[in-house]
């Protein structure tokens, strides 16, 4: 297949490009780093000739620093996706693989002993300041038990990045309905691995911890370190993109969790990474950020059943490689 790959020079996009090339696909790269902007309709038109599918990785990533980031997130992630979909329609390209994110869920799934499956409200700053990090039942205020979240859970984006990723999914669904194309949204969980960006506030937590270790500093773990996440290796994510090229259904968007299926705490990840790097060991600070979610752990069952995708890189093997692998400096 001839595949237009946006974000081809990025952390995940670079690994996807390698996987596509190794599988024998003809990759047409598009990346701001190489002078092509996904927001440019004329530039897109110049690349769409003969394209069979688009794999859309280009995005402004991270949770953002403050409200001043909103225009950039909306411009790159929402407007850029709209331009891309319009160009696909003009050129009759009927298959899209979209890099989405687990952040569209907000908090993960929880169960209350009295009220069953429930969705907690955003955690109050008063609770966080007192070290009360676990969400509570919105009906009775009682304790909750974290559960795995499925793709059918309602969306609840809680920051600018999350809102724009959900908007991308909605736009892709619009495109699929109106053109009869097949759209697959891959909801990545916490991706890590070689060439992960560093030294930027938009980096993922694993990259921030590794940057600290490289500088001889102990990783600083927020809250009590008990936040549960699913860490998935970037090469597994690249494999998921390959599998998604033949997934989905005409006329609709189908979402898939791309995750390892194994819950790890942020504190555990920091400790394993520090050990693999040779120290120093992490410090748990009790600090917090408003808008952060407590637990988000996914069920990968749909991706396994519909795409034949299962993550293969073991957590400790991946972290050992990541601890020694060179990173990259993200674009400002």
Q: What is the largest CA-CA distance in the chain?
A: 59
Q: Is the peptide bond before 280 cis (omega within 30 degrees of 0)?
A: yes
Same domain (yes/no): 20, 114: no
Same domain (yes/no): 137, 65: no
Same domain (yes/no): 222, 113: no
Does residue 223 lie in a domain region? yes
228-229 vs 264-265, strand pairing mode:
antiparallel
Same domain (yes/no): 158, 189: yes
Q: Which domain holds residue 122?
A: 109-147
Q: 27-57, pLDDT tens digit by residue?
A: 999 999 888 999 999 999 999 999 999 999 9
Last residue of a domain, one of 96, 131, 147: 147
Euclidean distance between CA atoms 302 and 299, whole angstroms: 8
User: Which pLDDT score is estimated for 34?
Assistant: 83
User: Which pLDDT score is estimated for 330?
Assistant: 45
Same domain (yes/no): 115, 97: no
Does residue 202 lie in a domain region? yes
Last residue of a domain, one of 147, 170, 198: 147
Average pLDDT score, the chain: 93
Is-contact 2 25, C-beta < 8 A? yes
Of all residues in the chain, what percent carry a pLDDT higher than 70?
95
Same domain (yes/no): 213, 137: no
Total number of domains constituting the chain: 2
Confidence of residue 331 (pLDDT cuts 50, 70, 90): very low
Q: Please, which residues bridge with residue 33 across strands?
A: none
116-118 vs 109-112, strand pairing mode:
antiparallel
Does residue 329 lie in a domain region? no
Does residue 264 lie in a domain region? yes
Euclidean distance between CA atoms 48 and 13, whole angstroms: 18
For residue 86 the two structure tokens come to 């319009």
Same domain (yes/no): 73, 136: no
> Taking the model in full, what pTM does it have?
0.94
- Report the interhelical angle of 205-214 vs 315-324 (nearest 10°): 50
Same domain (yes/no): 81, 179: yes
pLDDT for residue 58 is more than 90: yes
250-266: average pLDDT: 97
Is-contact 251 176, C-beta < 8 A? yes
Same domain (yes/no): 267, 154: yes
Does residue 331 lie in a domain region? no
Q: Please, which residues bridge with residue 297 across strands?
A: 148
Kindly list the distances between the CA atom of residue 58 and the CA atoms of 98, 101, 249, 319, in Å, as whole numbers in the listed order: 9, 13, 23, 25
Euclidean distance between CA atoms 286 and 303, whole angstroms: 36
Last residue of a domain, one of 98, 122, 147: 147
* DSSP per-residue letters across 272-308: HHHHHHT-PPPEE-----TT--SB-EE--HHHHHHH-
Query: Residue 276 belongs to a domain with what CATH number?
Result: 3.40.50.720
User: Which pLDDT score is estimated for 290?
Assistant: 85
């Amino acid at each position: 297949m001839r595949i237009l790959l946006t974000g081809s020079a990025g952390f995940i996009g670079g690994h996807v490009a390698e996987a596509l090339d190794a599988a024998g696909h003809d990759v047409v790269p598009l990346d701001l780093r190489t002078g092509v902007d996904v927001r440019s309709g004329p530039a897109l038109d110049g690349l769409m000739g003969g394209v069979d599918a688009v794999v859309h990785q280009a995005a402004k990533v991270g949770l953002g620093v403050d409200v001043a980031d909103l225009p950039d997130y909306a411009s790159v992630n929402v407007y850029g996706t709209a331009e891309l979909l319009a160009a696909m329609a003009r050129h009759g390209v009927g298959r899209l693989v979209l890099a989405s994110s687990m952040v569209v869920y907000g908090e993960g799934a929880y169960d209350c002993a009295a009220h069953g499956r429930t969705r907690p409200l955003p955690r109050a700053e008063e609770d966080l300041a007192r070290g009360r990090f676990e969400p509570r039942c919105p009906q009775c205020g009682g304790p909750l038990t974290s559960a795995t979240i499925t793709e059918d859970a309602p969306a609840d984006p809680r920051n600018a990045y999350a809102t724009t990723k959900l908007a991308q999914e909605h736009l892709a669904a619009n495109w699929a309905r109106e053109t009869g194309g097949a759209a697959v949204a891959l909801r990545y969980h916490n991706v890590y691995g070689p060439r992960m960006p560093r030294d930027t506030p938009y980096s993922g937590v694993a990259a921030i911890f590794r940057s600290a270790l490289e500088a001889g500093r102990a990783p600083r773990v927020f809250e009590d370190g008990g936040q549960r996440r699913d860490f998935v290796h970037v090469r597994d994510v690249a494999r998921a993109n390959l599998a998604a090229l033949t997934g989905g259904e005409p006329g609709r968007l189908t979402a898939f969790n791309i995750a390892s299926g194994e819950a790890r705490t942020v504190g555990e990840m920091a400790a394993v990474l520090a050990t693999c790097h040779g120290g120093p060991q992490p410090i748990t600070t009790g600090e917090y950020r408003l808008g952060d979610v407590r637990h988000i752990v996914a069920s990968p069952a749909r991706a396994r059943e519909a795409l034949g995708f299962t993550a293969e890189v073991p957590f400790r093997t991946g972290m050992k490689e990541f601890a020694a692998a060179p990173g990259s400096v993200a674009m400002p």
